[in-house]
Amino acid sequence: MAKRKEHIQTDAPQQAQTGAGAIPQEAPAPPPLPDLTVRVFPISNSKSKLRATANVNIAGAFAVRGFRIFDSRNGLFVKEPEQSYIKDGTELTRPVFFPVTKEAREALYGQILHSYELTMQQGQRQDETGCSLSGEDAPPERNYAPLVEDFDPEDDLPFDCGPSM
């Protein structure tokens, strides 16, 4: 079980530093925040307040899925991934992932909302220009409907699975 750190008192008397000789003590700088990569998946249902879901990659080492972006009267906001459970017949939720500091929360939510806005702008630009794949970017046009002569009624599957074990 984890133990709490206890405050250790020193025998040296503490001197109050006031006046011109006082040295201002700076708060320790928070650790730098890792690089965040966000993938946004817009929701096209206009009746729902849910606008998109997002996945976040933290420093290329951790992935968190299930952030949700909602639209409310006060604007867009981000909700963390949650796990639901039942306690005394009542369904409750608890966050699976959450930032510990205010600075980390602001950076994470800011990056998610910024990525959402960029994604929506790109979607509008493609809709306005009627952008579609053409030329080398487009997949070759093929008729994927199977032909009747491709199937042998004796076969179980319409494709070859390779040698059997």
What pairs with residue 76 in β-bridges?
71
The SS3 of residue 109 is: helix
> Residue 97 burial by CB count (10 A; 0-12/13-18/19+): exposed, middle or buried?
middle
CA pair distance 74, 152, nearest whole angstrom: 62
Given a contact cutoff of 8 angstroms between Cβ atoms, the answer to whether 69 and 112 are in contact is yes
Per-residue DSSP letter, 108: H
Tokens of 125: 């630009």
Predicted pLDDT at 133: 46
SS (H, E, C) 111-152: HHHHHHHHHHHHHHHHHHHCCCCCHHHCCCCCCCCCCHHHCC
CA pair distance 9, 105, nearest whole angstrom: 34
Tokens of 6: 């206890």
Place of tokens 């080492």: 61
User: Mean pLDDT by 10-residue block, N- to C-terminus, for the chain (165 residues)?
Assistant: 58 53 66 86 86 93 93 92 93 92 92 93 70 49 52 52 54
